[in-house]
Structure 1
């Protein structure tokens, strides 16, 4: 059965600056190479879900500019339904400036642009996309009010909510977490939201318990090269990562979440298997440069197993 996934999220054009290492204060360095790619956490997750076979729709915004048209075309090329993406006259399309080091690690600077214009009213006007979905996903690159509206609609209609609390923030919205079924932070994001430093399995369980107390049903903490910590009430486990040589970690987490949503059953009965699949997809992503260009198809993920 094909999962239906709706994303409320961000759309960015990634400008990738390849450098040996980050500059020190006051230092001028040379750039080794420069490239432009489609990206944005929401858009990456949508493409990951679609390439893994999910019927995918998107609620978001772009500017009335060449970047916006490019992003709409890229999403459509990946069979993402873009009917609920608004084109804003007064805002430019979101931008991400990615400082990609030779190690494959990156630092990212974001200009929200039209992403900041995504509103609760826009979500409500497109609520049919949420009501008919199996999963609705959101991140922190669009306004909180829009995400809360989406999750309220989802909860009222038995659509599973998935929250990727990124970029990291120290603001804990209990209202949003009470509407969240699955939360997928990395270690830093989990620590920022719970106040618990993630150092070992004991601290991961403590963070998960804090999320459970607010109504979250499933906690998935991504641990980079160490794998993924998954927890449901009364059960937790670390699922190892796939060992590969990273070229560019951009979109690795987004690929994990999008492919997870394409694979997961609504009753969570195949949670561990879905995480293993998502781990495989993420491992393929880090072996290529860029966001959209690196996200694998279902066939590629299955072939890697």
Structure 2
């Protein structure tokens, strides 16, 4: 049974600058190398879902420019249905500049561009893609009103919704009421619940806050430590796989996309899907770049045999 996943989200051309360490305020550093690749949280999550075996569709916007066509082609090459990507005549394609240091840590500067123009009307035009999905995924690199429209539409058709509240932002409480599964990292979780994530007790407290806001299922990703899940069927903390990280860009996005390819809509296999997703993101962090680093189903399965 192949999961059908529709991603409503961002499309960015990523430019990565390799540096020895992060610059101090007012300091100028030389970059050791520069590379460009397709990225954006939405694109990364869609490619991760598609490469892990999901039937994937994308709703978003790019500029009517070379970078926009590059993004559409990049998704098409990954067997993602791009018919619901609109070319915006006024805004340029989104972009991100990534500073990556020798420890594999990154700082990212994002220009939203056409991503900020993804509208509720775009979602309505993609109603067929949403109605026929098992999961609809959204993040916060596109307007929240658009996410709300997508999730409302999903609920009307009995489709499960996954929210990745990244980058961390003040959230429209109406979105949480139509969110089935929320996947923040520990920083985003603290921003949304005012609970500092330190241990299992604090994670359960955060889950209680989300439940009060209307979200019954939670996964908190905690970087190289692992991930915590809490559903109506139980909770657990699953340690991450130990690997040497060279670039953490797209690790969280890989996790979400890979998870959506395996998760059952009733969430009954959430632990197994979470372990699969962790395996996928552990491969991503061992490679350079965002979209180019995301593994295929065959690679994830091969890593699982080791």
Question: Which TM-score applies when normalising by structure 2?
Answer: 0.98
1:24 equivalent to 2:24? Answer yes
1:245-256 to 2 correspondence within 5 Å?
245-256=244-255
Question: Which TM-score applies when normalising by structure 1?
Answer: 0.99
Aligned match of 1:12: 12
> Whole-Å Cα distance in 2 between the matches of residues 7 and 52 of structure 1?
15
Q: Report the alpha carbon displacement of residue 266 of structure 1 after superposing the two structures with TM.
A: 0.9
Aligned match of 1:279: 278
Q: Report the alpha carbon displacement of residue 217 of structure 1 after superposing the two structures with TM.
A: 2.1
1:149-168 to 2 correspondence within 5 Å?
149-168=149-168
SS across alignment from 2:224: helix
Aligned match of 1:304: 303
1:60-99 to 2 correspondence within 5 Å?
60-99=60-99
Q: RMSD of the TM alignment (CA)?
A: 0.8
CA contact (8 A) 1:212 1:233 kept: no
Aligned match of 1:235: 234
Unmatched runs of 5 consecutive residues or more in structure 1: none
Tell me the matched-pair count.
Answer: 304
1:185-264 to 2 correspondence within 5 Å?
185-233=184-232, 235-264=234-263
> Whole-Å Cα distance in 2 between the matches of residues 233 and 206 of structure 1?
14
Unmatched runs of 5 consecutive residues or more in structure 2: none
SS across alignment from 1:102: coil
SS across alignment from 2:86: strand
The 10-residue stretch of structure 1 (194-203 or 237-246) with the greater mean CA deviation from structure 2: 194-203
> Whole-Å Cα distance in 2 between the matches of residues 120 and 23 of structure 1?
39
CA contact (8 A) 1:162 1:183 kept: yes
Q: Report the alpha carbon displacement of residue 162 of structure 1 after superposing the two structures with TM.
A: 0.1
**Structure 1 runs of 4+ with >3 Å offset:** none
> Whole-Å Cα distance in 1 between the matches of residues 122 and 292 of structure 2?
29
Q: Report the alpha carbon displacement of residue 234 of structure 1 after superposing the two structures with TM.
A: 6.2
> Whole-Å Cα distance in 2 between the matches of residues 267 and 26 of structure 1?
51
